[in-house]
Amino acid sequence: MGLLDGKVFAQLYSLISTNNSTENVLPALEALSEIGYDGVELMGANTCNMSVEAFRHHLDELHLIPISSHNLTTEPDFEFAQAMGIHYGDIRAELPDSRMDTILRVCEKMNEDGRIRQKYGIHAVYHNHSQEFRKIEGRDDLYVYDVMIQNTDPSLVGFEFDVGWGAFSGASPIDFIRKYPGRFPLIHVKEVLRRAISDAELEHFPADVLKMGPPIKPRNPKAATQGHLKYITYFTEEQARILYNRRSWNGKLGTGIIDWEELAKECIAQGTVGFINEREHYGYSPDDNEIVCAKDDYAYLRSL
């Protein structure tokens, strides 16, 4: 038995670029099933034009467990998750600064978000990027992430720890896991080749990208139409190229600075049920082939 048997999942949206459109989602699900993933993290309540019952049956036939979904925000979304048997749904927070009073207000909102989702059998999990690993203003010993964990109700809010963004920010994911056992039901798996060398690198959407124009939904008319960049649809092709290259710190699992075996052991000891593979960058394989990346990362996780 491998350390992660039954626990290796894929974030559908990022691992095999889908843009969450039906014509891309179904082939992606089939590819992930063929690779051997235990299940998927869905994006929203997209059923690929099937009924909820038919979509759930389709996942069953592919032997993919829908462990969680991102971007569930409305009552119909929660009802979808309930019908699909989805147990976890992400919540996000606005973090305009790192003042203690600001973060405590954020924690109140997180608890309320968790309470709403709990009515539908969904356990809220907070998904981080990098801003959570700034220090609380006036405190050198306390991260924003510390305050968020300490001031949310464990029965309402868990944490889907994106250890890649955490490590890139200079924090130690293993230390956080050990410090707050029981708070991390899900882990976002992401390799980190180096730590950030400046605050600007920690911006999820770099300032120089946003200065060129805000994201446009559902699709920026100047977005790329060919190649891998075509999946970054909210930005122009030039913006997407900058954004993609800035994520080159994310690489092949097992080649970076994270001790995955030790991390996995600590996570399982404190109750992690899903390791969800996610990517920001595909550049190590020929032609940025995300299928190759998905296969390689799966093989690495199963080898632990």
pLDDT tens, 259-299? 999 999 999 999 999 999 998 888 877 777 888 899 999 99
Whole-number pLDDT of residue 199: 86
Q: How many of the other CB atoms lie within 10 Å of CB of 25? A: 22
Contacts 24+ apart (CB under 8 A), 258-265: 258/163, 258/164, 258/167, 258/173, 258/191, 258/192, 259/174, 260/300, 260/301, 260/304, 261/3, 261/304, 262/174, 263/163, 263/173, 263/174, 263/177, 263/187, 264/3, 264/4, 264/304, 265/3
User: Mean pLDDT for the chain?
Assistant: 94
Do residues 42 and 14 touch, judged by C-beta distance below 8 A?
no
Q: Which residue has the tokens 């964990």?
A: 149
Report the predicted TM-score, pTM, of the whole model to 2 decimal places: 0.95
Q: How many of the other CB atoms lie within 10 Å of CB of 228? A: 17
| Domain residue ranges in the chain | 8-196+249-303, 199-248
> 235: which 2 tokens?
């930005």
**What is the C-alpha separation between 282 and 244, in angstroms, rounded?**
9
Q: How many of the other CB atoms lie within 10 Å of CB of 149? A: 22
> 226: which 2 tokens?
């060919």
Residue 1 has pLDDT above 70, yes or no: no
Task: Name the CATH superfamily for 8-196+249-303.
Answer: Divalent-metal-dependent TIM barrel enzymes (3.20.20.150)
pLDDT tens, 11-54? 988 777 666 666 789 999 999 999 999 999 999 999 999 999 99
Whole-number pLDDT of residue 22: 66
SS3 4: coil
In terms of Cβ atoms closer than 10 Å to its own Cβ (0-12, 13-18, 19+), residue 7 is buried
What is the band of 222 on the pLDDT scale with cuts at 50, 70, 90? very high
